[in-house]
Structure 1
Amino acid sequence: MFSVQGRFVLFWLGLCSLSVPLPAVASNCDRLLATGNPDYPPYLWRSTEDENALVGANQQLLEEVGQRLGIPIEVVYTGSWSRAQEEVRAGRVDLIAGAFLTKPRLQYMDYIHPAFYTTRSLVWTRQDQTLTYQDWADLSRWQGISLINNSLGQDFDSYAREHLNIDSVATLDQAMRMLVQGRVDYLLYEEFPAAAYAERLGFTGQLRSLEPPISQEQLFLTLSHRSPCNTGALRGELAHILTEVIEDGTAQRLLSTGLTDWQNRQRGADAE
């Protein structure tokens, strides 16, 4: 049986242990790996200087977050958007640098709030296509295309599964070429990335986007459930830093920088 003195010692040790702050990440997490959609300018695209890296506004944002966190965040190319999601699901990569919130994704990763950008997803079709669009039901008689495992928002995803004919391919390049070739009637994709790819492929004069948007969704930073670095303290610190970079204007500034970088890349490619 413990003496009164012994119980006091145990109580005092317990108070000391409570006063020690929890580490932000596990002790072996000296860096974080992130990935994302490589067909997503100006947010993300594959680097021409390092084929294993992704660059763009989201990459620059995570670099800034890593600096404030004190842990470097490297944004790597892991393949198609579908493959990138699988790498995070398996825990081989810690973070996704920009994902819409959907119920299936909640099963394998945590969403860090607040969202850092909002994007509009549009219907894209050919200039000579007679397709008219005012609401989702107008798409029911046409054949659509999107990317494998690409979400357009929880509500639209559920509606599309029940009522629309939409095929999926691995890359935006492939989907856009199928649209221009007349193999499908419309493409569903976010506004800025689709416009950027149309310009890159020389399709700007052949395609048009339709209003209203299919959806307006927020982009979140996400953390794999299987990441060894996933702790409550890390999630809290990431949320705090994301709030800071939004409020101090850093996020918006880096989006403008990403757009400029992509445009400069295209000018350089055209000059070659």
Structure 2
Amino acid sequence: MSTTLLCAVVLLPTQVVAAGKCERLVATGSPDAPPYSWRDPQDPRHLVGASVDLFKQVAGELGLKVEVLDSGSRSQALEEVRSGRVDLLIDSPFAVAELTRVDYIHPSLLNNEYVVWTRHDSSLVYDTLSDLREQRGSVSEKARLTPEFSAFAKSQLQLEPAQNLTQAFQRLLLGQVDYVLAGRYAGMAMAQSLGMSNALIARGLPVDRPGLYLALSHNSACNDAWLRGQLAKKLTELPASGVSQAVLQRNVERWKAQVQAPLDAPKQ
């Protein structure tokens, strides 16, 4: 090797050499969690949503090609990532038990704001969480709250578990409970799909803000210090850009349009 060529190799930017190891990431996530992620009706093998859009933006800025696949269910998505068949989970709650299998990239890609939902005509006075202690509430069994808030809710609130958010909102509309704890944006999407948008309202500040993290499999060939560091850097820059809220709102509208489309279709 000539001296000139040797110098050129030595002087190559560290970032270029590091990035060369992984040019493509395969990811997955929840197939039924709008507006964060859901199955693409036009291409059911893939997912769409706010988490997907933001992940693709971050990866694109790093020069990485990405594909976000539908694994069939939330539990199967996690299993695909644990095994290394898929590199990364785009919407993982932080779980200490999973640290032996995945690396969580901090900060979170998004935060899921859980708020108090009531009927529009509700007389419930809600300023602080203490106002809810004597009220009957409901929360989906699929809700991924922080451990700290879950402990508080268990000891201080009267929360009835529902099989899913659909059932919780139906109970609220029927007057069987006084309020529902649900994600602000997930609640918007669900209320729209159930035709309840005019009947339900989100009130007050978030009661909990669990993070939705990128979780990189220990068994992924792409899991190296360069990628983890670059992803963390890009995620740190996201909140100040204001992009996240815009992407969330756009995907709420996207979900609304998808739900509305069959109703608006011309009759044959």
TM over 0.5: yes
- The answer (yes or no) to whether the contact 1:44–1:57 under 8 Å persists in 2 is yes
Correspondence 1:185-196 to 2 at 5 A:
185-196=178-189
Please tell me whether residue 151 in structure 1 is matched to residue 144 in structure 2: yes
**Greater radius of gyration (CA):** 1
Query: Measured at CA, do residues 179 and 93 of structure 1 come closer, stay the same or move farther in structure 2, by a change above 3 Å?
Result: farther
User: Where does the alignment leave 5 or more consecutive residues of structure 1 unmatched?
Assistant: 1-15
Paired with 1:105 and 1:132, the residues of 2 have a C-alpha distance of: 40
What is the DSSP-based 3-state SS (H/G/I as helix, E as strand, rest coil) of the residue aligned with 1:189? strand
Query: Measured at CA, do residues 226 and 182 of structure 1 come closer, stay the same or move farther in structure 2, by a change above 3 Å?
Result: farther
Please tell me whether residue 234 in structure 1 is matched to residue 195 in structure 2: no
What is the DSSP-based 3-state SS (H/G/I as helix, E as strand, rest coil) of the residue aligned with 2:181? strand
- Deviation of the 1:54 alpha carbon: 1.6
Paired with 2:46 and 2:149, the residues of 1 have a C-alpha distance of: 31
Which residue in the other structure is 1:117 paired with? 110
Paired with 1:194 and 1:109, the residues of 2 have a C-alpha distance of: 29
Correspondence 1:1-272 to 2 at 5 A:
23-24=18-19, 30-36=24-30, 38-41=32-35, 43-81=36-74, 84-101=77-94, 103-104=96-97, 106=99, 108-127=101-120, 131-137=124-130, 138-139=132-133, 142-148=136-142, 150-164=143-157, 165-169=159-163, 171-181=164-174, 184-243=177-236, 251=244, 253-272=246-265
Paired with 1:215 and 1:270, the residues of 2 have a C-alpha distance of: 35
Paired with 2:154 and 2:230, the residues of 1 have a C-alpha distance of: 37
- Deviation of the 1:122 alpha carbon: 0.9
Paired with 2:133 and 2:73, the residues of 1 have a C-alpha distance of: 26
Post-superposition Cα deviations, 1:169-204, rounded to whole Å, max 9, x if no partner, equal 3x4334433443555553321111201210121012
What is the DSSP-based 3-state SS (H/G/I as helix, E as strand, rest coil) of the residue aligned with 1:192? helix
Paired with 1:122 and 1:52, the residues of 2 have a C-alpha distance of: 32
- The answer (yes or no) to whether the contact 2:144–2:210 under 8 Å persists in 1 is no
What is the DSSP-based 3-state SS (H/G/I as helix, E as strand, rest coil) of the residue aligned with 1:59? helix
Paired with 1:186 and 1:192, the residues of 2 have a C-alpha distance of: 16
Task: Provide the alpha-carbon RMSD of the alignment.
Answer: 3.6
- Deviation of the 1:266 alpha carbon: 3.9
Identity of aligned residues (%): 33
Taking structure 2 as the reference length, the TM-score comes to: 0.72
Taking structure 1 as the reference length, the TM-score comes to: 0.72
Query: Measured at CA, do residues 161 and 259 of structure 1 come closer, stay the same or move farther in structure 2, by a change above 3 Å?
Result: same
What is the number of equivalent residue pairs in this alignment? 251
